[in-house]
Amino acid sequence: MRIVLTGGGTGGHIYPALAVAKQFSEEVPGTEFLYIGGTKGLESKLVPQENIRFEAIEITGFRRKLSFDNVKTVMRFLKGVRTSKRLLKEFKPDVVIGTGGYVCGPVVYAAAKLGIPSVIHEQNAVPGLTNKFLSKYVNAVAVSFEGTEQAFPGAKAVEYTGNPRATTVFKADKERGYASLGLPSGSDIVLVAGGSRGAKAINEAMIDMAALTEKLPNVHFVYVTGESYYEATVKEIRKKAGRMPSRLHVLPYIHNMPEVLAVTKVIAGRSGASFLAEVTSLGIPSILIPSPNVTNNHQEKNARNLEAAGAASVILETNLSGQTLFQEIQRLMKDEPARQAMAEAARKRGKPDSAHVIVEMLRRLAGGNG
């Protein structure tokens, strides 16, 4: 088979696409892939590392208020459609899947206009503008959250598939996770991460919290700053705490996140849909800090969805501090029954076969080729 993948901007859009590619390679050996992404998104760095052919188009999103920039966006969209049509005609895919981000717009739209079977995958509880637009043109929509199917009333078909990133994480090797961190097997690990690019508010809370980590002497804290924040954050921790606490391990980025998640007891971070798919597939109790800077406040809706199931606690950014974050981590690490109850609730919301479900969906649309 020949598959075109598209999605970009952040890891939350890119990793699900890569999970689909990995699953396809396992189920249909010899499948060929082309990934079409943005010129400035994280995908331009991550996709080539997976030995997948990558092509870039220039695209930006619409501003929500009247602006001349929106005229430029329309022009970029039309140019992106032309470029996408050229790439699609050259590659001749059996099916195209978009996993979110502005770049999906011209690529998936071009596929639909060329009569190529196409699918969009919506990760969040609240659909983005691009996917709402595309849902009227594609053959099918896949959703991550059960019960959100009605958000696409104009779609030809909508299917609850879960998020394919869950499959990648579910299969991760625990021992490689411990080894990559340089920690003994069986260590109690609390992971704090602000997403693929980091989060300023979480970094500030962690700077304040650094010295408090020593109040949990048997716990290793793994803290991911995001590459652009790393040096300044390490400097501030040393300044505020007097030194780097012995069990606080500060990293700019984790390239083998599934393996690290597999050894994590409690996790604190944003509430993007791919992240939630990861933690539920493994049953990790989570402390969710929704980003307030996202369309339709969808991260808080994602987080409340998990909180209502008893699988997570939520700290809004307005209430976030080193003290509030540490108190919640301490509560969970000292209360094993509560932690186990959250873990079980998380597992019930997980869908570790998501990538397989999406592969089957794509193969049906492609006519069973391969």
Helix axes 322-334, 200-209, angle to 10 degrees: 70
Buried b / exposed e along 37-47 (16+ C-beta atoms within 10 A): bbeebbbbebb
* 299 labeled binding residue: yes
* 49 labeled binding residue: no
Q: Are 352 and 258 in contact (CB under 8 A)?
A: no
Q: How many CB atoms lie within 10 A of CB 321?
A: 14
CA–CA dist 224, 204 (Å, integer): 12
Location of structure tokens 């019960």: 147
* 196 labeled binding residue: yes
CA–CA dist 218, 344 (Å, integer): 23
Closest CA to 257 of 187, 354, 181: 181
* 41 labeled binding residue: no
CA–CA dist 126, 295 (Å, integer): 9
Q: Which two tokens stand for residue 304?
A: 């409340």
Quote the radius of gyration of the chain (alpha carbons, Å).
21
* 10 labeled binding residue: yes
* 11 labeled binding residue: yes
* 330 labeled binding residue: no
The annotation places the binding site for UDP-N-acetyl-alpha-D-glucosamine at 10-12, 124, 196, 254, 299
Annotated binding site: 10-12, 124, 196, 254, 299
